[in-house]
Amino acid sequence: MSSSLNRRCATLCLLLLAFFTSSLRAQNTTAASTFYLPKTETQFSFNLANNSNDVFIYLTSPAYSWVGVGFGESMKNALMLIVYPNSNGNNVTVSPRVSTDNTEPTFSSDVKLDILPGTGITDEMFVLKARCRSCRVWPNGFLDADSTTQPMVYAFGPAKNLNSDRPDAPLKRHYTYGKFTMNMREAVGTPGVPAPSTRSSGVSSESPLVKDHDRKTLAHAIIGCLAIFVLWPINIILAGFLRNIKIHIGFSIGIMVFIIVSYALGIAASGQYNRSKAFNSPHQIFAFLAILPILLLSLLPMKPLSTLKQWIPRAHAPLATLCLTLLILTGGLGLHLSSSSTPIILTYLAISILVFSFITLLQLCVRRRGSAYARATTRRRLGDEDEQDYGLANYWARRKLEGSRSQSQASSNATWDSERPWSGDSRKQGGGAVFGGGTMPGPHYMMNMHPGVPVSFK
């Protein structure tokens, strides 16, 4: 009797346990499509509520500078959710953005996003739990609940933290990115935030992770620095110490080509970022201001213009200094615009001070002694020869003068001997005498330190 009662109690307990377990599973099971990337332990899951237009989202990923997931085949016309640390670094800022091209997406205030409990940074991992009330339709895009191959994109920012509370904070270009497609039908069901998972579910296809490069911005910076810090000092050395002005002109043209290419690359790269699309940043303003002195520096040395006023040739050196100053400031502001790291900015500052000081000292030296071309031009204007030609001409003139003097000396001695009243050794016999060796300083002696004509006294 007691054993039968015990068996019945045990059976009842098992039935109650199975009921509660099934109920608990039913409560914890939420329809979702999940993408999981083992390399970074990134999970993105979403649920499409079957009785509303809400979309429930669960995202976890390493705390890079930013992480983004988007609905769309590419960045163009995609709705993206960007997550990055807040200003204190103890929570996350979630920014819904829409991109109109393959450029930095723009914050969209039309997307209504409710941040749910559990969102934050845990063990250096972003955790996002949210409900989006307007994520099914956006400008030039929508979510198709019946699609089995909904295109999706994702991207990771560089390692440097962003740390901002602003939903429209400027983003650095992504370091890596990828694509995948999802089965939307598996995500339709009872509304709720999907549960954590370590495997993909409902993923139709997946492309490998791609490493990105910002080649335009990098080339813009490198070419600009080469023109300012390498070619510019060399050109000043050529202008100061070489008489052939054509070498300086050719080198100046090469520098202008570098600067023009750098400007073109900068303009092309500006369209990729929200902070530079309007061309109103300090970096771009200084770059535009530098165009005027650069044009004057290129045009004023031309002969039709350089001969208009006497001060125009003298304005060349101050204009060059002004151009260099503006370009160095422009480069420093460009590093700030691109959110470069502090070591890079300090290195640029040190190089700028070193190069500017060297160029200033070099210009003072050239200005004090005059450039080689200016000295050669002055000699030609005064009727002198070039240094090498002048030395050769002086050598042959001296040889010719010495030959003429030798011939004149011989002729004078012969004439004097024929006219003097004594002959041979008469000077030894008490006749007339020649005092002091027989010479008197003449004009040629005073000018050239050569003997004149013999003179005698009776």
pLDDT digit string, tens, across residues 38-88: 999 999 999 998 888 889 999 999 988 899 999 988 888 899 999 999 998
CA distance 326 to 286: 7
Distance set, CA 238 to CA 232, 328, 371 (Å): 10, 21, 9
SS3 93: strand
Give the pLDDT confidence score for residue 25 in this predicted structure: 41
- 266 pLDDT above the threshold of 90: yes
Average pLDDT on 296-320 reads 80
**Distance in angstroms between the alpha carbons of the first and the last residue of the chain:** 180
Mean pLDDT confidence for 417-444? 46
Q: What is the pTM of this model?
A: 0.70
Q: For residue 109, is pLDDT > 80?
A: yes
Q: Which residue has the higher pLDDT, 367 or 223?
A: 223
pLDDT digits (tens, 9 = 90+) for 344-378: 999 999 999 999 999 999 888 877 776 666 666 66
The neighbouring-strand residues paired with 216 are none
Specify the range with the lowest mean pLDDT, choosing from 232-241, 384-393, 430-439. Answer: 430-439
Residue 330 confidence (pLDDT): 95
Nearest to 94 by CA among 125, 64, 124, 119: 119
pLDDT at 395: 58
Q: State the Cα–Cα distance between residues 365 and 78, nearest whole angstrom.
A: 60
Residue 4 C-beta-side C-alpha neighbours within 13 Å? 1
pLDDT score of 390: 47
Q: Which residues contact 456 (CB under 8 A, 6 or more apart)?
A: 420, 432, 433, 434, 435, 438
Distances (CA, A) of 61 to 42, 64, 127: 4, 8, 7
> How high does pLDDT run on average in the chain?
80
Q: Is 412's pLDDT higher than 60?
A: no
Q: Which of 151, 137, 68, 150 is nearest to 105 (CA)?
A: 68
Across the range 211-240, mean pLDDT stands at 92
> Are the C-beta atoms of 181 and 204 separated by less than 8 Å?
yes
Residue 139 confidence (pLDDT): 87
DSSP H helices, 182-231, are 215-226
Range of 25-29, 141-145, 301-305, 331-335 with top mean pLDDT: 331-335
- Secondary element (H or E) of residue 70: strand 67-71
The residue that leads in pLDDT, 55 or 413, is 55
Question: What is the band of 313 on the pLDDT scale with cuts at 50, 70, 90?
Answer: confident
